[in-house]
Amino acid sequence: MKRKLFLVGSLVMLTLMIAFISYLFIILFGNYAIDEEQLQFNETSVIVDQSGETISKLFIENRDVVTIEQIPEHIKHAFVAVEDVRFYEHHGFDLRAIGRALYRDILAGAKVEGGSTLTQQLVKNVYLSNEKSWLRKTKEVLIAINVERRYSKDEILTMYLNSIYFGHGNYGIQTASQYFFNKDVNELTVEEGALLASIPKAPYHYSPVVDKEKSGERRNLVLALMAQHGFISDKEKEKHQAAEIRLDIQESEEQQAYYTYLDMVIAEASEKYNITSEELLTNGYQIVAPIDQTLQKQAYQVIQDERYYPEGSTDAESAFVLMDTETGGVLAVQGGKEYVRLGLNRVNVKRQPGSTLKPLSVYAPVMEKGDYHPYSLVNDEEMTFAGGYAPKNAGGIYRGEITVYEALTHSSNVPAVWLLNDMGIDTSLDYLQKFGFHIDERQLGIALGGLNEGVTPFELTKAYRAFAAEGKIIEPYFIEKIYDSGGHLIAENKSEEKEVISEQTAWDMTRMLESVVEQGTGTAGFSQNSLAGKTGTTSFEGVSGGTRDAWFVGYNQEVVGAMWLGYDRTTEDSYLTGGSSYPTKMFKEILNESPSHFQQVAWRVPSTVDDLEPPVKLPEVNDLVAIQSFGGEGLVSVALSWSASEDSRVQYRVYEVNGEERTLLSTVVGGNFYYQPKLNIFSTSHYEVVPYDSLTHQEGTRSNIAASEFKFGFH
């Protein structure tokens, strides 16, 4: 018997020791489990435009954290009344509530009531799973006790209200307030606060969006509990219960029009400011972007519209980027017609630029060197260069000898290669590097954009900015400023300009590229803005007449950008059936919808440059008349007259023609007549005039031959 009692006593002691050790372990576990970082809830970051309007939110859990001072007393009372009326009296768990819940569980024969305090609910939300077991419940109670030891009641209530889920993707009281009522939490009425307090028990079941009637019943129960516990009077209860539920739902739809821009903001935050994607999703930043929402949406609508694509190529892809000429801030960007988040961004994909590279690889460099100016003459005849390279002009059109201005306007290939050959490839590559490209292909084909690797729409936009902004480039950017969750400025864009060509060269290029749009290869479509730019196409050798890439890069003194059209992979089954007229029309259509502050109807000539005179248009003279007569002193002379151009820069060379021989008599400046003395009054002389371009020093078409006729008279 003694032995049996000893064994029982030993067993009891062992059990007590195990229980005591287990209790100590759990207490220690409870202390260890309080990870303060977990109580710093993930906050939603927001991207806004420069006016402060929200573009998009970035979050894992959509939550806007608020402080206890921002939460009205009646909101606190509503949650305390319905969830934990003894909140300010207990120390983390409530024995009365647990006893009551246990009693009801026994009566029901199942676990039907939790009896959890607000502190326990906070612990469950932050640290524990939703598993219903006594072990989990024990952990919950012990951690709750330690939370109460470490934090004040106000701190716990604030953490609770910022942690709870209200359904429809909304975490925390502030986000729920914005979602259901479109107002901040400090603006909520008593009945609105009671409605929100009624939701967390069963967010879907009690959602006013799902079932307004059931939600109203639950709200009125909360109001009744508030009155029962003295938070409001019975009269106030009746007033608020009678109030109609008025919602102002704010759905946070992600719009496809913004996908590319959002991805490029995230990428820039990481690459330029070392803010990871996870930090963006959890740290509650406010990011100010230079985006223009009107242009962003318009760009999306245009690239989605099949009417802007060549017939037979409506499934082609496209890419577009537009930036503020002055600042370098990207106003709009589209990475493709079928762009998906974090997918292939065609703004950054290298493609063959075609003739859009000519201004950068040839024309700006040769003029910057000073060897040529816009009205210098260049060769435009079929020829073969070193290595057997024999470029062809589009359509087989050759004009013999033309100006640099004309060569660029009509995008003639031979003059571009001729100029590059004369200037030297090294000079071209040096300037391309200054413009921001990384090209090291030592062949004459770079004059025409024939590259092995290609360039991106983003790079072309950056480079063409030099023509729009007095010869300077700037790094395009997507983030203007970044504020932390406390509203402190932590990062700011500080892009600096870099001069690559002179102001004079930039302005001369602008005047020539303006001509491209007005009378050259860029005339397709309609633009209500001043616009300069360059088209480009690359042929697909696999199909006669097929196109691989089609481009338009355009600008004025307000905006600069690029539009590309093509297929990700060009094959005999997938190739463009049209050329650069399509991206040209698309670019202009987007620009036509730009806000008034980006509209430009006239160029502003910089005070530091000499404006480039427009080309001289030589007239055809076909009404030359020669009249021979006696003068007032008995002398015989021939009076020549013709119809002259109103352009005073047109001069006229007067020739006497004798068979195949032509003798230059004089050059008439700014007139339409000429007197030639004559000794032999009985002979007939023949004359012609030839218009002469004082800019290019070229003669135009010869006039009709006029024979001198004798008439009596005095002059």
Q: Is the dihedral of CA 143, 149, 155, 158 positive or negative?
A: positive
Choose the catalytic residue: 207, 215, 355, 515: 355
Cβ atoms of 411 and 394 within 8 Å: the answer is: yes
Residue (of 508, 509, 566) closest to 540 by Cα position: 566
* Both structure tokens of 376: 């210098």
Q: Is the dihedral of CA 373, 374, 375, 377 positive or negative?
A: positive
Residue (of 413, 406, 411, 355) closest to 377 by Cα position: 406
Cβ atoms of 353 and 379 within 8 Å: the answer is: no
* Both structure tokens of 696: 């290019």
Distance CA 53, CA 204 (A): 30
* Both structure tokens of 54: 């929200």
- Per-residue buried b or exposed e for 263-283, using 16+ beta carbons within 10 Å of the residue's own CB: bbbbebbeeebebeeebbbbb
Q: Are strands 673-677 and 661-669 parallel, antiparallel or unpaired?
A: unpaired
* Both structure tokens of 695: 């800019």
Cβ atoms of 260 and 345 within 8 Å: the answer is: yes
Strand, helix or coil for residue 707: strand
Strand, helix or coil for residue 236: helix
Residues 6 or more apart whose Cβ sits within 8 Å of residue 293: 49, 53, 55
Residues 6 or more apart whose Cβ sits within 8 Å of residue 267: none
CA–CA distance from 467 to each of 17, 163, 365, 602 (Å)?
Answer: 85, 54, 12, 16
Q: Which element (helix H / strand E) includes 472?
A: strand 472-473
Strand, helix or coil for residue 55: strand
Residue 620 identity (one-letter amino acid): E
Cβ atoms of 293 and 331 within 8 Å: the answer is: no
Residue (of 295, 309, 308) closest to 257 by Cα position: 295
The burial class, CB within 10 Å (0-12 / 13-18 / 19+), for 659 is exposed
Question: DSSP assignment of 8-63, as one string?
Answer: HHHHHHHHHHHHHHHHHHHHHHHHHT--GGGGS--B-EEEE-TT--EEEEE-SSEE
**Residue 715, Cβ neighbours under 10 Å: how many?**
11
CA–CA distance from 576 to each of 336, 470, 525, 584 (Å)?
Answer: 16, 35, 19, 15
User: Using alpha carbons only, what angle is made at residue 304 by residues 298 and 310, rounded to the nearest 5 degrees?
Assistant: 115
Distance CA 149, CA 126 (A): 17
Cβ atoms of 208 and 196 within 8 Å: the answer is: no
Q: Greatest CA separation found in the chain? A: 170
Cβ atoms of 597 and 619 within 8 Å: the answer is: no
Distance CA 134, CA 136 (A): 5
Distance CA 587, CA 520 (A): 16
Has 131 been annotated as catalytic?
Answer: no
Has 355 been annotated as catalytic?
Answer: yes
Q: Which residues pair with 401 in a beta bridge?
A: 379
User: Residue 283 gets which letter from DSSP?
Assistant: B
Choose the catalytic residue: 43, 83, 268, 589: 83
Q: Which residues are catalytic?
A: 83, 355
